[in-house]
Amino acid sequence: MRTVLVFVGLVLLAVVAGVFMTSSDRGGPAAVTVPFTALAEGSRSEVTSRVNYLIDTQEELARLWDLLQEAPPIPTVDFNTKVVAAVFAGEVPTAGYDIAVTEVEDADDRVVRIELVKPNESCVLAQSVTAPYQVIELPKTSLPFTHADTWTTKPCP
């Protein structure tokens, strides 16, 4: 009986240890931070729903740029070595919302970490529909893209 309990305890310990291992601990690649550059960001776009776009041609970038309001002139991107990712929060009822890429990491996938910010419910804000966005440039990869959204609430100004 004691041997069975010890064996069960060791199995449980191995399972729990596996839960806390990183992908590199399990033999997968370690996450590597990928540098990126913001090309444009703002609070007004014509995109009405929460969506992300991956752009890999100058023509697609021109079509995307037509959806942005208050954007700088369209940049020229070397799509042989770079791609463009655009993140949109969609239409929101007031000022005070935001969206931004906070980090990009490569491991098994290229993970784009996105922070969506909403104002505290007690804030008095302009009652104006906004549609926040950010457009970034980053190195090209053959890895599949995924994203991870995080919502935060910001205090009143």
Q: Between residues 1 and 77, which one has the greater pLDDT? A: 77
Q: What are 117-143's pLDDT values in tens digits?
A: 999 999 998 899 999 999 999 999 999
Read off the pTM.
0.81
Instruction: Name the phi and psi angles at 18, rounded to 5.
Output: -65, -30
Please give the torsion angle defined by the CA atoms of residues 51, 56, 57 and 59, in that order, rounded to the nearest 10 degrees.
0
With a cut of 80, say whether residue 86 has pLDDT above it. yes
Distance CA 68, CA 45 (A): 5
Q: Give the pLDDT mean for 78-105.
A: 97
Give the start-to-end residue ranges of the domains of the chain: 1-28, 31-154
With a cut of 80, say whether residue 6 has pLDDT above it. no
Nearest to 132 by CA among 94, 78, 75: 94
User: Identity (one letter) of the amino acid at 53?
Assistant: Y
Distance CA 138, CA 105 (A): 11
